[in-house]
Amino acid sequence: MTDGPSYGFDTLQIHAGARPDPATGARQTPIYQSTAFVFRDADHAAALFNLQEVGYIYSRLTNPTVAVLQERIATLEGGVGAVCCSSGHAAQIMALFPLMSPGKNVVASTRLYGGTVTQFSQTIKRFGWSATFVDFDDLDAVKAAINDDTRAVFCEAIANPGGYITDLDAISAISDAAEVPLIVDNTSATPYLCRPIEHGATLVVHSTTKYLTGNGTVTGGCVVDSGKFDWTANDKFPSLSAPEPAYHGLKFAETFGPLAFTFHGIAIGLRDLGMTMNPQAAHYTLMGIETLSLRMERHVENAQKVAAWLETDPRVDYVTYAGLPSSPYYDRVKKICPRGAGGLFTVAIKGGYEACVKLVDNLEIFSHVANLGDTRSLIIHSASTTHRQLSAEQQEAAGAGPNVVRISIGIEDADDLIADLDQALAKATA
């Protein structure tokens, strides 16, 4: 189909990027399980390698199944292009790679997925990059943290795990004024609940492992480009604005215009870093994405019910879910994610660390896993698992203190989830 702007989300999540297979008419997108693609002739091959013609060469760079997913996610996010990768963490590196160089920094929110805090505070140092973490509710602190060496601002729309919503409009006003791209991790919200590009994001990154696939089967990631950033406004982004020696001096921004970042991601990023999504993973994610809106609606409805029940329970200290009027972020939901505050929240249990561990061990329906965004309800005690590598201060800042469990609400019957929590809380706090 042609992706007319008039189509609604439910139509696009099924059709965007996909056409009946030209060779067989297959209605569902085939899994093109092929490493390489035959060139029509030597001239065709040369044109592809020169980036003069777009086509398929080798599946580290491009693959027809993965291409459908890229177009689907780009369309749902309102971007011009997307590059799929092997995981969400790969997508983060792929987003930063064209922007950063040794000595440059990213200004990042303190409220991030635990693995991202580790990636940014430890691993990227090996590339000579650094991250400055600040409270993104303190806009003056965000402004002050940006300096001449800042090449990106990074946050999550709905921050995992603490039920925090970022004021993306306020943050993008700051990054725009500083002429620095804003990267938003939209994993927890998904484009159904939040469209960061409409709030000024330059790039959107995803762990497609989570809600986009939706059933805990594969890992994957994606970088979506808004196509709106002017890479040539100054000399801060030479990978995109200056001649590229690996392509005979081609300038990505000049040659590809709004698609410069996407082409760079494929022609340099995937070619040389190799963090490629495989066609099987793209297939599973395409299957999942077809029902994204239906699942997100149920995730939100269930999360709302379960969080409200927990909040009134005497065994619970507090619940951080932005969908509850008690949340300081309740008013931001309408502005940033009007269809709901997502399916993730944290619960502080009276009885601290011990009670949390017992709760997790006594649940029947909830699975104790390091994952989120599954059809199944999941729970984890962040302080003893995903956020274990962080300092006590970092744990608190991320909303993952020792008395807190993170819950990812699935699409089961809300009453069953409440009954399960009730019986496990009884054992945990006995």
Ligand X SMILES: *Cc1c(COP(=O)(O)O)cnc(C)c1O
Local structure of 344: helix, strand or coil: strand
Q: Judged by CB, which is closer to ligand X: 204, or 260?
A: 204
Q: Restricting to residues 239-278, which ones interact with ligand X according to CB under 6 A?
A: none
Q: Judged by CB, which is closer to ligand X: 95, or 424?
A: 95
213 touches ligand X by CB under 6 A = no
Single-letter amino acid, residue 93 = I
Q: Max alpha carbon distance in the chain (Å)?
A: 75
CA 363 to chain centre: 28
185 touches ligand X by CB under 6 A = yes
Single-letter amino acid, residue 119 = Q
420 touches ligand X by CB under 6 A = no
Distance between CA atoms of residues 411 and 363, nearest Å: 17
Q: Restricting to residues 375-394, which ones interact with ligand X according to CB under 6 A?
A: none
Tell me how far, at minimum, the Cβ of 274 lies from ligand X, in Å: 15
111 touches ligand X by CB under 6 A = no
- Of 29, 118, 150, 187, the one binding ligand X by CB under 6 A: 187
Pairing of the two strands 164-165 and 404-408: unpaired
**Within 3-113, where are the H helices?**
9-15, 42-49, 64-77, 88-96
Q: Judged by CB, which is closer to ligand X: 166, or 241?
A: 166
- Of 17, 79, 115, 163, the one binding ligand X by CB under 6 A: 115
Question: Which residue has the closest beta carbon to ligand X?
Answer: 88
- Of 105, 207, 327, 394, the one binding ligand X by CB under 6 A: 207
Whether 207 and 94 have beta carbons less than 8 Å apart is answered as: no
Distance between CA atoms of residues 85 and 65, nearest Å: 13
- The stretch among 12-20, 36-44, 206-214, 227-235 that binds ligand X (CB under 6 A) is 206-214
Each residue 334-373 as x (binds ligand X by CB under 6 A) or -, in order, gives --------------------------------------x-
Tell me how far, at minimum, the Cβ of 220 lies from ligand X, in Å: 7
Distance between CA atoms of residues 429 and 201, nearest Å: 44
Q: At what angle do helices 64-77 and 279-289 cross, to 10 degrees?
A: 40
* Helix, strand, coil % in the chain, rounded to nearest 5: 40, 15, 45
Q: Judged by CB, which is closer to ligand X: 87, or 175?
A: 87
Count Cβ atoms within 10 A of the Cβ of residue 347 and give its class: 0-12 exposed, 13-18 middle, 19 or more buried. Answer: buried
188 touches ligand X by CB under 6 A = yes
374 touches ligand X by CB under 6 A = no
Distance between CA atoms of residues 249 and 245, nearest Å: 5
113 touches ligand X by CB under 6 A = yes
Sign of the dihedral through C-alpha 121, 122, 128, 129:
negative
- Of 62, 160, 175, 394, the one binding ligand X by CB under 6 A: 160
320 touches ligand X by CB under 6 A = no
Q: Restricting to residues 28-87, which ones interact with ligand X according to CB under 6 A?
A: 87
Could you tell me which of 172, 160, 254 has the C-alpha nearest to residue 207? 160
Chain contacts with ligand X (rule: CB under 6 A):
87-89, 113, 115-116, 156, 160, 185, 187-188, 207, 209-210, 219, 221, 372
